């Protein structure tokens, strides 16, 4: 399996996804868009992973690579590639599918998510746990794309995840988090913790580090499904 990863800033990498990729002996190339790395060609990957970042999907005027990235995501969907979007990546995926991305309630830290009742309409949704304590770090949200099935919601954010045609998944939350990846966020974005909303302190976020290992089985199950036979479009 060939995997292309789009990374937007140095401090939001793939976290525990790296372990899953190693276990599957995937051929991986990370495209560091913030450093001027070019976007991948469409025929260079079977799985596209789009990571998070502090910019908005609406920042095309100030983020030079954003328009091309959006075009690549749309082309990947048309070509029936598998796509996973995380945080900003989920917002980009939702927009590519025609949904609106807008300002939402700031949600930073460890907050519980509940599986959406409609998740049972997807084979993936039926595999996922009813509740998750997940890591969040976002201030924008997206409407549910047409034709998609909602997976999770939280008190501050109704749309925490969706699956579209069983081959594209958007996650507003960070199931890939590790203590190391969260430490990078805390170091890079300390001012975010002063924002109003559902925001935990740095100490409370660090106290939640043990939750990271509990998220791994769900992350791996989701990735196995997305790249496996259940995701074949019929």
Q: List the domain boundaries for the chain.
A: 2-232
15-47 pLDDT per residue, tens: 999 999 999 999 999 999 999 999 999 999 999
Please say whether the beta carbons of 165 and 233 come within 8 A: yes
Q: What is the pLDDT of residues 58-81, one digit of tens each?
A: 999 999 999 999 999 999 999 999
* Contact status, residue 51 vs residue 89, Cβ threshold 8 Å: yes
Residue ranges in the chain modelled with pLDDT below 70: 230-234
> Residue 101: phi, psi to the nearest 5?
-110, 130
CA distance 206 to 182: 8
- pLDDT, residue 36, reads 96
pLDDT reported for residue 234: 41
Report how far residue 76's alpha carbon sits from residue 171's, in angstroms, rounded to the nearest whole number. Answer: 18
d(CA 218, CA 120): 16
- Give the DSSP H or E segment for 20: helix 17-23
Domain 2-232 belongs to what topology? Rossmann fold (3.40.50)
Residues with Cβ within 8 Å of residue 47, at least 6 apart in sequence: 1, 2, 3, 4, 26, 81, 82, 83, 84, 226, 227
* Inter-residue contact 193 to 202 (CB < 8 Å): yes
Q: Write the CB contacts of 146 (distance below 8 Å, at least 6 apart in sequence).
A: 97, 98, 99
Q: What's the pLDDT score for residue 209?
A: 98
Residue 229's pLDDT is 85
């Amino acid at each position: 399996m060939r995997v292309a990863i789009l990374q937007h800033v140095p401090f939001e990498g793939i976290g525990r996804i790296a372990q899953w990729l190693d276990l599957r002996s995937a051929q991986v190339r990370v495209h560091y868009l913030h450093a001027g790395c070019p976007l991948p060609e469409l025929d260079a990957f079977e799985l596209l992973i789009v990571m998070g970042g502090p910019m908005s999907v609406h920042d095309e005027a100030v983020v030079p690579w954003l328009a091309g990235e959006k075009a690549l995501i749309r082309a990947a969907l048309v070509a029936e590639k598998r796509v996973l979007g995380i945080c900003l990546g989920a917002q980009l995926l939702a927009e590519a599918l025609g949904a609106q991305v807008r300002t939402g309630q700031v949600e930073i830290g460890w907050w519980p998510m509940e599986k959406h009742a409609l998740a049972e309409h997807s084979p993936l949704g039926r595999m996922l746990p009813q509740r998750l304590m997940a890591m969040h770090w976002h201030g924008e949200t997206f409407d549910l794309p047409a034709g998609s099935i909602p997976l999770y919601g939280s008190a501050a954010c109704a749309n925490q995840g969706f699956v579209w045609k069983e081959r594209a998944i958007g996650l507003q939350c960070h199931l890939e988090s590790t203590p190391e990846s969260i430490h990078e966020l805390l170091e890079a974005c300390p001012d975010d913790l002063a924002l109003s909303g559902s925001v935990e302190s740095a100490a409370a976020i660090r106290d939640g580090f043990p939750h990271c290992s509990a998220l791994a089985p769900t992350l791996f199950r989701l990735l196995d499904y997305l790249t496996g036979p259940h995701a074949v479009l019929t």
